[in-house]
Amino acid sequence: MKTLQKIYTFLIFFILYIPIVVLVLFSFNSSGNTGSMTGLSLYWYRELFATPSTFTALKNTLILALSASVISTLLGTAAAVGIGKFKNKAVRGAVLSVTNVPMMNPDIVTGISMMLLFVLVGSLIGLKEKLGFWTILIAHITFCLPYVILSVRPRVLGLNRSLSEAAMDLGCTPVSAFFRVELPAIMPGIVSGFIMAFTLSLDDFVISYFTTGNDFQTLPLLIYSMTKKEVTPDIYALSTLMIAAVLILLILSNVAESKGKNKENETSAKAAERIG
């Protein structure tokens, strides 16, 4: 039985990860032939970095991901804290559902609807280039926001109300009580929300495809356009780099989350000990 369980688990992971393994492997292929592996080399990586359009796309992607995740983290944290302050349960539930819509909506619907809006507003105020950095940025903030809220809200719920009261009791104004006491307590949620937003923005294709203009290409869009001509292994190299980046961020996010959790567990274990 134990062996069966192990085999089953192995199979699941094998099927899940074999495409990625193959992709990574072929990115190190010394020949351009997709069919056969002739030897290991970094040729395609060199090739990739020799292309100026890759650099521009990389720079664009990072700028976009950074600004989108910073802004959505600020807005999302404010929203999560604000939603926690609603007294009326029905209103709170409604606001939460509304903020979750961009997460539930199919990307393609979000993408098309935002494109439509941007083009409409753009023509109303008479812009020549209606789509570009600003529109894709707004779009990315929109779909990152609910994930930040989702990640910060449990922290806000777990806040001991006495914490901010204790801070005010000791001389903090309500605002400084928030920054000195509440913010540090919800920080793990904010960090993991930020990393999640960054990751999502980094690898988004569908929404970016609809909301960006000709002069602002991101890596996923570049990969897509490269496949249109001819599939060369430098795409594999680029994809491998993106996988690595996302993987590192995910691990960081988990570490941030579990660090905070550990602290909490210890506290509640202590509390249980005391009462028991």
Partner 1 sequence: MKKLIELKNVSKAFDGEVVLDNLNLDIYDQQFITLLGPSGCGKTTTLRLVGGFETPDSGDIYFDGQRINDVPSYKRQINTVFQKYALFPHLNVFENVAFSLRLQKKGIAEIAPRVKEMLELVALKGFERKNVNFLSGGQQQRVAIARALISHPKVLLLDEPLGALDLKLRKDMQNELKKIQKQTGITFIYVTHDQEEALSMSDVVVVMADGRIQQIGAPTDIYNEPKNAFVADFIGESNIVDGVMEEDLKVTFSGHTFTCVDKGFAPKEQVDVVVRPEDVDVVSVEQGMLTGVVTSVTFKGVHYEIIVDIGGFKWMIQSTDFVGVDEKIGLYIEPDAIHIMKKSEYSGKYGDYSSFSDELDELSDASAVEE
In whole angstroms, the minimum distance from the beta carbon of 189 to partner 1 comes to 13
Residue (32 or 158) nearer to partner 1, CB: 158
In whole angstroms, the minimum distance from the beta carbon of 174 to partner 1 comes to 8
In whole angstroms, the minimum distance from the beta carbon of 273 to partner 1 comes to 8
258 binds partner 1 (CB under 8 A): no
129 binds partner 1 (CB under 8 A): no
CB of 146 within 8 A of CB of 137?
Answer: no
Rounded CA-CA distance 166/177 in Å is 9
Rounded CA-CA distance 6/125 in Å is 62
Q: Residue 38 phi/psi, 5° resolution?
A: -100, -20
Q: Write out the binding residues for partner 1, residues 135-194 only, by CB under 8 A.
A: 160, 162-163, 165-173, 176, 181, 184-185, 187
275 binds partner 1 (CB under 8 A): yes
Residues 6+ apart with CB under 8 A from 65: 140, 198, 201, 202
Burial 191-228 (b: 16+ CB within 10 A, else e): bbbbbbbbbbbbbbebbbbbbbbeebbbbbbbbeebee
Q: Which residues of the chain form contacts with partner 1 (CB under 8 A)? A: 160, 162-163, 165-173, 176, 181, 184-185, 187, 263, 266-267, 270-271, 273-275
